[in-house]
Amino acid sequence: MQKDLTRLLHDPNLIPSEKQNLLSKIASQAESLGMPCYVVGGFVRDLLLGQPINDLDIVVEGDAIALGKSLVEKYGGKLTPHYKFHTAIWYLPSREAFTLDPSSLDLITARSETYSRPGALPTVKPSTIDDDLLRRDFTINAMAIRLDGDHFGELLDPLDGRSDLEKKTIRVLHPRSFIDDPTRIFRAIRYEQRYSFILHPSSFILVNPESLAVLQALSGERIRHELDLIFDEDNSPQMIVRLGKLDVFKWIHPELPAFNESHSDYLEMDTRLDVPASRITMGFILWLMDLTEAAILSIARRLDFTSDLTHAVWGASQLKKSLPFLVNSAPSVWVYALEKLPLLSIYTVYLVSREKALLDYLSFWRHVKPGTTGNDLKMRGLEPGPRYGEILTALRAAWLDGTIRSNEEEMEMLNRLL
Ligand code: ATP
């Protein structure tokens, strides 16, 4: 087994060589300080699944801050220690050996966690790697591989996560897991749909009113973070639909609806239109835009939306509701109505309505501007004031609606207006 893992840890298709390099530097530094050093969590899970790893989740038995300091002494970079949590962020030195994305990594001290009450943030205490694995969400995330010295490639798997991986099963570590932290319900569904695994029946029955009720006490920020992670995934529609079927949403906000399955395909953006893309924002727009204005604003408060996100969802909802009144309007009327809305809101409403004017706006109308500028009006002796805006808007509208089609015609119109 150790040999198998050693092979995986050296596979450049799973771990790019610069990350391997970095891991080996950290491991030998930890060894010289007498600290057992491990990669844990998602790293081990994805490695065993034969999938490229993303984050380097590093845990040491010992003082992660001391390890960080000695790495900075030896290799440079910067350290931000968090004494309360016994963790440190190492901002890597910008040398060739460290061309890494992201350019920082977390160094964590193995710890145990206790929950003072359901849904509270845990109290943490430095401890052993075994305790650290016991505080985790699912067996498949509760494995570690040791990296220092002769121990390189040893798997620690106290909860048999490897066999759950083989059985494609998500399983919590103890019956109170979802009560301690109901954000794990979202995480369970995310992994289930991402890997096409099954939430084990013994864990599935723990998604029940007792654990779901704890969601009511959870901060909007924590819940939204989980929803953001979901909308950022390829299979997000399946995840959000599944959460709806488990009746999760009513515990967060009574008006949170089920996700409309027929909207699933829209999450794939067409970037040719030069609309700033965000799967997360688009996910929330598609999910919520058919609600009333009051419900949207109330959910935005509960989930601690940023003002940009609130504006994007609200804007899409207003636009969708006003489409019947705008249909057959002149282009300038459309532009007037659309100009203050986020492009992504307009694009999303286009996807669900296929209203051609929205596409015309995104690809063409929004870029139409008259040749005349404010400066030109000043040169022509116009006193500063609201007339500037009125004249420029009238010229733009004339271009949009086809009443002027050339610079000469624009000049004639300008002369008439002045
Ligand atoms: P991915 O980023 O691919 O979703 P990951 O495993 O890297 O997966 P993170 O959110 O980065 O996920 O968490 C790192 C590890 O921390 C997890 O693998 C898990 O062991 C542990 N963890 C994260 N959130 C929780 C939680 N709410 N309760 C218990 N353990 C958790």
- Per-residue pLDDT of 253-274, as tens digits, reads 999 999 999 888 887 766 667 7
Q: Which domain holds residue 142?
A: 1-167
| Same-domain status, 83 and 59 | yes
| Same-domain status, 361 and 379 | no
| Same-domain status, 396 and 274 | no
User: pLDDT of 30-51, one tens digit each?
Assistant: 999 999 999 999 999 999 999 9
Nearest protein Cα to ligand 1, atom 26: 137
The pLDDT of residue 186: 98
| Same-domain status, 160 and 266 | no
- CA 170 – ligand 1 centroid, Å: 13
Nearest protein Cα to ligand 1, atom 1: 42
Domain termination residue (choose one: 143, 167, 191)? 167
| Same-domain status, 379 and 300 | no
| Same-domain status, 355 and 389 | no
| Same-domain status, 269 and 339 | yes
- CA 188 – ligand 1 centroid, Å: 10
User: pLDDT of 328-337, one tens digit each?
Assistant: 999 999 999 9
The pLDDT of residue 98: 63
Is the pLDDT reported for residue 3 higher than 80? no
User: pLDDT of 174-197, one tens digit each?
Assistant: 999 999 999 999 999 999 999 999
- CA 141 – ligand 1 centroid, Å: 7
For the chain, how many structural domains are there in total? 3
| Same-domain status, 2 and 70 | yes
In angstroms, what CA-CA distances link 238 with 162, 232, 254, 353? 25, 12, 21, 22
- Judge whether 413 lies within some domain: yes
User: pLDDT of 271-307, one tens digit each?
Assistant: 667 788 889 999 999 999 999 999 999 999 999 999 9
Domain of 163, CATH number, reads: 3.30.460.10
- Judge whether 232 lies within some domain: no
Nearest protein Cα to ligand 1, atom 25: 137
What band does 138 get if pLDDT is binned at 50, 70 and 90? very high
| Same-domain status, 26 and 144 | yes
Bridging pattern class, strands 58-60 and 87-91? unpaired
Nearest protein Cα to ligand 1, atom 11: 42
| Same-domain status, 15 and 114 | yes
Q: What is the mean pLDDT of residues 63-77?
A: 96
Ligand 1 contacts (CB < 6 A) are 41-42, 54-55, 57, 136-137, 141, 181, 183-184
Domain termination residue (choose one: 167, 189, 208)? 167
| Same-domain status, 268 and 400 | no
Nearest protein Cα to ligand 1, atom 5: 42
In angstroms, what CA-CA distances link 214 with 49, 119, 190, 200? 33, 6, 19, 21
- CA 136 – ligand 1 centroid, Å: 8
The pLDDT of residue 95: 66
Q: Which residues contact 67 (CB under 8 A, 6 or more apart)?
A: 26, 29, 30, 33, 35, 37, 60, 88, 107
- Judge whether 186 lies within some domain: no
Domain termination residue (choose one: 167, 193, 213)? 167
- CA 57 – ligand 1 centroid, Å: 9
- Judge whether 40 lies within some domain: yes
| Same-domain status, 308 and 412 | no
**CA-184 nearest atom, ligand 1:** 27
- Judge whether 72 lies within some domain: yes
Residue 402, amino acid: G
d(CA 304, CA 288): 15
Enter the pTM of the model: 0.91
Q: Mean pLDDT for the chain?
A: 94
- Judge whether 237 lies within some domain: no
- Judge whether 88 lies within some domain: yes
- CA 292 – ligand 1 centroid, Å: 35
Bridging pattern class, strands 104-109 and 58-60? parallel
- Judge whether 138 lies within some domain: yes
| Backbone region of residue 18 per phi and psi (left: phi > 0; alpha: psi in -120 to 50; beta: other values) | alpha
SS (H, E, C) the chain: CHHHHHHHHCCCCCCCHHHHHHHHHHHHHHHHCCCCEEEECHHHHHHHCCCCCCCCCEEECCCHHHHHHHHHHHHCCEEEEECCCCEEEEECCCCHHHCCCCCEEEEEECEEEECCCCCCCCEEEECCHHHHHHCCCEHHHCCEEECCHHHCCEEECCCCHHHHHHCCEECECCCCHHHHCCHHHHHHHHHHHHHCCEECHHHHCCCCHHHHHHHHHCCHHHHHHHHHHHHCCCCHHHHHHHHHHCCCHHHCCCCCCCCCHHHHHHHCCCHHHCCCCCHHHHHHHHHHCCCCHHHHHHHHHHCCCCHHHHHHHHHHHHHHHHHHHHCCCCHHHHHHHHCCCCHHHHHHHHHHHCCHHHHHHHHCHHHCCCCCCHHHHHHCCCCCCCHHHHHHHHHHHHHHHCCCCCHHHHHHHHHHHC
